[in-house]
Amino acid sequence: DAGVIQSPRHEVTEMGQEVTLRCKPISGHNSLFWYRQTMMRGLELLIYFNNNVPIDDSGMPEDRFSAKMPNASFSTLKIQPSEPRDSAVYFCASGRVSYNEQFFGPGTRLTVL
C-alpha cells in the first residue's frame, strides 16, 4: 500500500500567486481530510469529504481557499491569491467512513514570500 500521496512536498511561491496542493488518498478510503499545521495554531482541520462530497468546510480560513474532490482518488486544495500568512505545512489524510482512523500523508511545506 503506497499510503497517502501528496504533491508537491515543498512549494515556494510569491505573494499573490495561485498555489495548488494535491492529494491521492489510500485506495478504498472514502473520507478525505485537509489539515494545516503552524507553530502558532497547531493542527487545524480545514475541510473534509465523505464519498467525494464536502461535509464540513468551516475550517477554511477565507474565500481564498477552495478544495475539490472530483473523484475518489484525487483531491486538490487551492489558495488564490496566496499570502505570507498561508505559509504552513498542509496535510491530507484519508480513512473509511465509520472507521476510526485517519492515515496522514507526508505533508506539503508551503512558503509564501
Partner 1 sequence: AQSVTQLDSQVPVFEEAPVELRCNYSSSVSVYLFWYVQYPNQGLQLLLKYLSGSTLVKGINGFEAEFNKSQTSFHLRKPSVHISDTAEYFCAVTANSGGSNYKLTFGKGTLLTVNP
Binding stretches for partner 1 (CB under 8 A): 4, 31, 33, 42-43, 45, 48, 50, 55-56, 91, 93, 95-107
Q: How far is the CB of 16 from partner 1 (least distance, A)?
A: 28
Calculate ∠ Cα 50-41-31, nearest 5°. 10
Q: Using the minimum distance from each CB to partner 1, give the nearer residue, 93 or 110.
A: 93
Min dist. Cβ of residue 107 to partner 1 (A): 6
| End-to-end CA separation in angstroms for the chain | 36
Give the span between the Cα atoms of 82 and 74, in whole angstroms: 22
Query: Whats the size of the chain, residue-wise?
Result: 113
Nearer to partner 1, 77 or 95 (CB): 95
